[in-house]
């Protein structure tokens, strides 16, 4: 998928989630994953004003960050942040090498709060060769490790298909953490 | 206090709040709504039904309203009772949530709005800054936003919906549905008795006292003050026990989040507090429960008082409950109250979102 298509997906999904029928008083994060022959790709969108509460380093981007790639000096901190707050485990309990491949700022709108900035992050991990690693287990708590009302909606993106809702990740006070989510194959 | 002065800066600058400030949509009035100031406080009350009192008077007023409107409007106003429809409430202004049911105040004549006002006054308490008076002030806030911002979100007192889910009667189940921006009333009755007054949502912007429709308005500062009084009375140890980890930028159990209650309560157990401090928690709960008619409120308060020792109070942010992202929760076997201070959406400052729920009696305890 090209960078342009990824951007369009992220922006389009933000609009979809901001539809009046959506269930979110405030914008949520979204995670869309797609599976290729040898890897799994995740595109994560996070409202920047919510991320700023969990990762104050992003405030260095300023109050009105321009759309486009994130400044290079922030990349190591974002890489480390997603290393700490996103993980994929195969069905045999082996951890996949999930890493950030790009990060950019995009604009979005929401009926209640209007225009806001999104951080759009691409993550990717190679799949174990010669075996079925699915269902993968996604452990994810970006933002919600600090902002307890924050939620992330997870979608499966099949080739040429509308994203399919897989589940919702949110902080569970009974667990003291966000519950992992199983990611099925397309 | 004099009317808030909105300085002559651009709408974008007006709405820049906090970090990564939001910018609202500009534009004119929202299509499909009257978008007018009906100034419900000035609407004359009807003389009809004055021979009856209490629940009987509410039924009389409902019948009088139905008799005075067109068949088409009656069809929109009164519909079959379903929990699915009862769940169609929201904090959003009309542009953010289009699934509300029933006609809006703008669809009625002034005479008919008088009947509606009387119905709402019968369902609510008549305490100052609570109940009906709180409702009137929240609607005034929308008129304030309509007159003082360029938002096209659908602000206006005319844009609040009313519906009867089921037929108002002495027998059977029905619900008085009233809601719009920052307001949701869901009073459910069965065989002539109130069986549920929740979910009940309140919010307001501007939060600071403001003048609109010929009166001063500050509908939710009493709730804020009641919470701050609790935390001011706690010892350092108690305050530490009450403090939740993390940040809350919104309530958990908002609209369409009926499954948001955690199974285990968090915070400070009220039963460990002195009677004086327990009374402060009850006072805070009363700022919600006493929004409804005293007959129903007394019954609900008796239940919450009996459960008080097993109720928890908690906060995130500052104990003075006066800053962005300050958050308060009261969580009991039945009662669930949340209060969240959020950035201004249309004008500078903070504004509260708050919900009162009952884990047992939301939607009257009905599931469908």
| Residue B153 with chain A: CB contacts under 8 Å | 111-112
> For the packed helices B131-148 and B110-123, what is the interaxial angle rounded to 10 degrees?
130
Residue B70 has pLDDT above 50, yes or no: yes
A25 vs B95, B244, B254: nearest CB: B254
Task: Read off the DSSP letter of residue B247.
Answer: B
CB crowding B28-58: b at 16 or more within 10 Å, else e = ebbeebbbebbbbbebeebebbeeeeebebb
Give pLDDT, residue B254. 95
CB pairs under 8 A between A and B: 95
Give pLDDT, residue A130. 76
Give pLDDT, residue A114. 75
What chain A residue is nearest to B246 in terms of C-alpha separation? A146
- Enumerate residues 6+ apart whose C-beta is below 8 A from B366: B83, B86, B173, B188, B196
B91 vs A25, A49, A65: nearest CB: A25
Residue A23 has pLDDT above 70, yes or no: no
pLDDT digits 0-9 by tens, B319-351: 999 999 999 999 999 999 999 999 998 899 999
pLDDT digits 0-9 by tens, B207-262: 999 999 999 999 999 999 999 999 999 999 999 999 999 999 999 999 999 989 99
Cα(B91)–Cα(A25) distance, integer angstroms: 8
- pLDDT category at A67 given cuts 50, 70, 90 is very high
- Residue B206 contacts A, CB cutoff 8 Å: no
**Residue B23 and residue A115 in contact, taking contact as beta carbons nearer than 8 Å:** yes
Q: What is the mean pLDDT of residues A16-45?
A: 74
Give pLDDT, residue B99. 94
| Residue A114 with chain B: CB contacts under 8 Å | 15, 22-25, 345
- pLDDT category at A174 given cuts 50, 70, 90 is confident
* Cβ–Cβ gap B23/A114 under 8 Å: yes
Give the phi and the psi of residue B246 in degrees, each rounded to 5: 85, -175
Percentage, residues of chain A above pLDDT 90: 66
What is the number of other CB atoms lying within 10 angstroms of the CB of residue A32?
A: 21
Residue A21 has pLDDT above 70, yes or no: no
- Residue B236 contacts A, CB cutoff 8 Å: no
Give pLDDT, residue B29. 59
Q: Among B15, B19, B84, B205, which would you mutate to test the A interface (most chain A Cβ atoms within 10 Å of its Cβ)?
A: B19
Q: Which residues pair with B353 in a beta bridge?
A: B203, B340
Give pLDDT, residue B292. 98
| Span of A70-74, A143-147, B15-19, B64-68 with lowest mean pLDDT | B15-19
C-alpha gyration radius of chain B: 20
What chain B residue is nearest to A65 in terms of C-alpha separation? B20
How far, CA to CA in Å, does A15 sit from each of A10, A22, A44, A45, B346?
9, 10, 15, 12, 20
**Residue B131 and residue B291 in contact, taking contact as beta carbons nearer than 8 Å:** yes
Which stretches of chain B are assigned E, i.e. beta strand?
A: 78-79, 161-165, 173-180, 183-190, 193-196, 200-203, 210-212, 215-217, 268-269, 312-316, 327-331, 335-343, 350-358
- Residue B153 contacts A, CB cutoff 8 Å: yes
* Position with higher pLDDT, A82 vs B154: A82
Q: Closest by alpha carbon to B224, among B347, B92, B342, B119?
A: B342
Q: Among A19, A21, A24, A25, which would you mutate to test the B interface (most chain B Cβ atoms within 10 Å of its Cβ)?
A: A25
* Cβ–Cβ gap B96/A64 under 8 Å: no
How far, CA to CA in Å, does B28 sit from each of B139, B288, B334?
19, 35, 43
The three-class DSSP label of residue A82 is helix
DSSP β-ladder status, A114-126 and A39-47: antiparallel
- Run of H or E residues at A8: helix A3-17
Q: How distant is the Cα of B204 from the closest Cα of chain A, in angstroms?
A: 14
What is the number of other CB atoms lying within 10 angstroms of the CB of residue A132?
A: 11
* Cβ–Cβ gap A114/B22 under 8 Å: yes
Rounded to two decimals, the ipTM of the complex is 0.83
Cα(A122)–Cα(A136) distance, integer angstroms: 18
Q: What is the mean pLDDT of residues B172-183?
A: 98
Give pLDDT, residue A98. 97
**Residue B77 and residue B85 in contact, taking contact as beta carbons nearer than 8 Å:** no
Q: Among B14, B88, B96, which would you mutate to test the A interface (most chain A Cβ atoms within 10 Å of its Cβ)?
A: B96
> For the packed helices B275-289 and B221-233, what is the interaxial angle rounded to 10 degrees?
170
- Residue B216 contacts A, CB cutoff 8 Å: no
Q: Closest by alpha carbon to B260, among B271, B250, B245, B246?
A: B250
Give pLDDT, residue B9. 27
Q: How distant is the Cα of A2 from the closest Cα of chain B, in angstroms?
A: 28
Give pLDDT, residue A149. 95
Residue B173 has pLDDT above 90, yes or no: yes
**Residue B322 and residue B252 in contact, taking contact as beta carbons nearer than 8 Å:** no
Q: Closest by alpha carbon to B110, among B181, B45, B185?
A: B45
What chain A residue is nearest to B91 in terms of C-alpha separation? A25
- Residue B95 contacts A, CB cutoff 8 Å: yes
* Cβ–Cβ gap A149/B251 under 8 Å: yes
- Alpha helical stretches, state H, B275-321: 275-289, 294-306
Task: Read off the DSSP letter of residue A129.
Answer: T
**Residue B255 and residue B201 in contact, taking contact as beta carbons nearer than 8 Å:** yes
Q: Closest by alpha carbon to B185, among B203, B197, B169, B173?
A: B197
Q: How distant is the Cα of B91 from the closest Cα of chain A, in angstroms?
A: 8
| Rounded (5°) CA angle A152-A157-A159 | 170
Q: How distant is the Cα of B264 from the closest Cα of chain A, in angstroms?
A: 6
Q: What is the mean pLDDT of residues A121-132?
A: 91
Q: What is the mean pLDDT of residues B146-172?
A: 94
* Cβ–Cβ gap B251/A48 under 8 Å: no
* Cβ–Cβ gap A149/B262 under 8 Å: no
Q: What is the mean pLDDT of residues B139-161?
A: 93
- pLDDT category at A26 given cuts 50, 70, 90 is low
| Residue A147 with chain B: CB contacts under 8 Å | 246-249
Give pLDDT, residue B282. 98
Residue B11 has pLDDT above 50, yes or no: no
């Amino acid at each position: 998928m090209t960078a342009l298509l990824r951007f369009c997906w992220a922006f389009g999904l933000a609009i979809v989630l901001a539809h009046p029928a959506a269930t979110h008083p405030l914008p949520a994060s979204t995670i869309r994953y797609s599976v290729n022959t040898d890897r799994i790709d995740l595109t994560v969108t996070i409202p920047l004003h919510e991320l700023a509460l969990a990762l104050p380093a992003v405030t260095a981007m300023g109050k009105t960050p321009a759309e486009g790639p994130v400044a290079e000096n922030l990349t190591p901190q974002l890489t480390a942040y997603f290393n700490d707050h996103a993980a994929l485990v195969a069905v045999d309990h082996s951890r996949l090498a999930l890493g950030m491949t790009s990060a950019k700022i995009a604009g979005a709108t929401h009926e209640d709060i209007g225009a806001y900035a999104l951080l759009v992050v691409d993550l990717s991990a190679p799949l174990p060769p010669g075996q079925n690693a699915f269902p993968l287990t996604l452990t994810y708590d970006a933002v919600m490790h600090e902002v307890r009302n924050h939620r992330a909606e997870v979608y499966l993106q099949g080739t040429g298909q509308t994203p399919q809702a897989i589940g919702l990740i949110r902080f569970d006070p009974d667990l003291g953490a966000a519950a992992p989510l199983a990611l099925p194959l397309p | 206090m004099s009317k808030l002065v909105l300085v002559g800066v651009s709408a974008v600058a007006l709405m820049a709040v906090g970090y990564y400030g939001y910018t609202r949509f500009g534009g004119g009035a929202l299509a499909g709504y009257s978008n007018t100031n009906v100034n419900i406080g000035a609407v004359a009350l009807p003389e009809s039904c004055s021979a009856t009192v209490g629940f009987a008077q509410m039924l009389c007023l409902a019948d009088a309203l139905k008799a005075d409107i067109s068949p088409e409007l009656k069809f929109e106003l009164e519909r079959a009772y379903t929990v699915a429809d009862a769940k169609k409430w929201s904090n959003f202004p009309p542009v953010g949530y289009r699934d509300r049911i029933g006609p809006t105040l703008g669809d009625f004549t002034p005479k008919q709005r008088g009947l509606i006002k009387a119905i709402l006054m019968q369902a609510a308490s008549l305490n100052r800054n609570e109940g009906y008076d709180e409702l009137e002030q929240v609607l005034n806030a929308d008129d304030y936003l309509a007159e003082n911002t360029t938002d096209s979100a659908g602000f206006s007192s005319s844009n609040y919906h009313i519906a009867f889910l089921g037929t108002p009667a002495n027998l059977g189940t029905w619900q008085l549905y009233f809601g719009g921006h920052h307001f949701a009333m869901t009073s459910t009755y069965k065989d002539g008795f109130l069986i549920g007054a929740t979910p009940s949502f309140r919010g307001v912007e501007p939060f600071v006292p403001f003048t609109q429709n010929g009166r001063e308005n500050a509908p939710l500062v009493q709730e804020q003050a009641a919470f701050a009084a609790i935390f001011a009375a706690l010892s350092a140890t108690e305050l530490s026990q009450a403090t939740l980890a993390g940040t809350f930028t919104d309530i958990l159990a908002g609209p369409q989040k009926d499954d948001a209650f955690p199974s285990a309560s968090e915070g400070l157990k009220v039963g460990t507090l002195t009677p004086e401090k327990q009374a402060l928690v009850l006072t805070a709960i009363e700022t919600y429960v006493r929004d409804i008619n005293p007959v129903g409120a007394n019954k609900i308060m008796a239940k919450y008082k009996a459960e008080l020792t097993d109720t928890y109070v908690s906060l995130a942010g500052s104990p003075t409950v006066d800053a962005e992202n300050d958050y308060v929760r009261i969580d009991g076997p039945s009662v669930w109250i949340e209060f969240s201070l959020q950035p201004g959406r249309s004008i500078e400052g903070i504004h509260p979102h708050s919900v009162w729920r009952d884990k047992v009696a939301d939607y009257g305890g009905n599931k469908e």
